């Protein structure tokens, strides 16, 4: 090969190394088993000041530090054992997608070639999609006005808890309550004030149930609280506490609000609908007995 041809090949190679967008690198094992870099070129090494002239012959831990080296070396060792490896890793504020390929000579793996791509934007996009999907899931299962569980979520939780109660003979109670004379509040003060009442009662409810309970808006001014592993007497205590907090609170523009409660305990063989209807009927009994009370 002529000198000019060699010079042209070297020039082309240098141009490629200086302008390549992704990262290409080569690895070899020393006699002591340590993996070292023979080549590291591209936009990514230039960004981190880790091109071949700076890291040639250095080990992974010398470049990345011990903590990150342990993970990276695991991928490299897999490649040196003959596996084509693909992985994603973060270094500082950048995410890389990397592919490793073993290089054989006479049936023996002598080196590993790697190529990395900056996938930071892709990762951020995926994280944003996941965040939006989570928000969407929340919207599908959360009442928009009160931020409590909605009817769909309550139905699902109640079905699950009924199965658990039937299977393991665990207590299960529900609290069904309705704001007294809510139509009168809307008629007298308007729906905006009515919504504020719903929001405040939701806050009272959330702050007076246990972590294991599931409070939700059943519909309109009706609320349901699912109380796993709870007998009717203990559920009544929760209902009475919420009733008192609702009654003792003041609502803009300075009126009082009360609510009527029905508390029911699950019995083996009872269907979900019958369970809820029983609590609903007890709530109406509370209304008939003067409102602002708890019936079990």
Domains and CATH numbers, the chain: 3-119 (3.30.450.20), 145-295 (3.30.70.270)
Confidence of residue 103 (pLDDT cuts 50, 70, 90): very high
Side by side, the strands of the sheet bearing 23-29 are 35-42, 23-29, 108-118, 94-105, 85-91
The 10s digit of each residue's pLDDT in 212-231 is 999 999 999 999 999 999 99
* Catalytic annotation, pick one of 41, 161, 221, 295: 221
Q: What distance in Å separates the CA atoms of residue 112 and residue 104, rounded to the nearest whole number?
A: 9
Secondary structure E strands in 92-221: 94-105, 108-118, 172-179, 214-219
Tell me what the pLDDT averaged over the chain comes to.
Answer: 89
Confidence of residue 10 (pLDDT cuts 50, 70, 90): low
The 10s digit of each residue's pLDDT in 75-99 is 999 999 999 999 988 877 888 899 9
130 tagged catalytic: no
The 10s digit of each residue's pLDDT in 254-280 is 899 999 999 999 998 899 999 999 999
- Could you tell me which residues come within 8 angstroms of residue 61 by beta carbon, excluding any fewer than 6 positions away? 69, 73
Whether the pLDDT of residue 210 is over 90: the answer is yes
Confidence of residue 187 (pLDDT cuts 50, 70, 90): very high
Residue 24's pLDDT is what?
87
pTM over cut 0.85: no
- Could you tell me which residues come within 8 angstroms of residue 131 by beta carbon, excluding any fewer than 6 positions away? none
Confidence of residue 5 (pLDDT cuts 50, 70, 90): low
């Amino acid at each position: 090969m002529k000198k000019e041809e060699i010079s042209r090949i070297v020039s082309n190679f240098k141009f490629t190394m200086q302008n390549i967008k992704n990262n290409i690198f080569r690895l070899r094992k020393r006699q002591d088993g340590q993996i070292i870099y023979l080549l590291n070129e591209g936009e990514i090494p230039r960004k981190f000041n880790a091109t071949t002239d700076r890291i040639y012959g250095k080990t992974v831990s010398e470049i990345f530090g011990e903590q990150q080296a342990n993970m990276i070396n695991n991928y490299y060792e897999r490649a040196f054992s003959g596996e084509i490896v693909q992985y994603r890793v973060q270094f500082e504020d950048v995410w890389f997608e990397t592919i490793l390929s073993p290089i054989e000579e006479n049936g023996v793996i002598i080196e590993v070639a790697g190529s990395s791509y900056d996938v930071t934007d892709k990762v951020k996009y995926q994280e944003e999609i996941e965040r939006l999907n989570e928000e969407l899931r929340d919207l599908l299962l959360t009442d928009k006005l009160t931020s409590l569980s909605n009817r769909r979520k309550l139905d699902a939780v109640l079905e699950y808890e009924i199965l658990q109660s039937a299977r393991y003979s665990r207590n299960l109670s529900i609290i069904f309550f309705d704001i007294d004379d809510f139509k009168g509040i809307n008629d007298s003060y308007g729906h905006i004030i009515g919504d504020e009442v719903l929001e405040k009662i939701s806050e009272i409810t959330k702050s007076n149930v246990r972590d294991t309970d599931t409070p939700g808006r059943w519909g309109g001014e009706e609320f349901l609280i699912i109380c796993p592993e709870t007998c009717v007497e203990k559920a009544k205590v929760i209902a009475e506490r919420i009733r008192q907090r609702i009654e003792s609170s003041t609502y803009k523009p300075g009126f009082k609000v009360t609510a009527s409660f029905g508390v029911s305990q699950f019995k083996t063989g009872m269907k979900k609908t019958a369970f809820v209807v029983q609590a609903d009927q007890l709530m109406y009994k509370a209304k008939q007995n003067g409102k602002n009370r708890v019936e079990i």
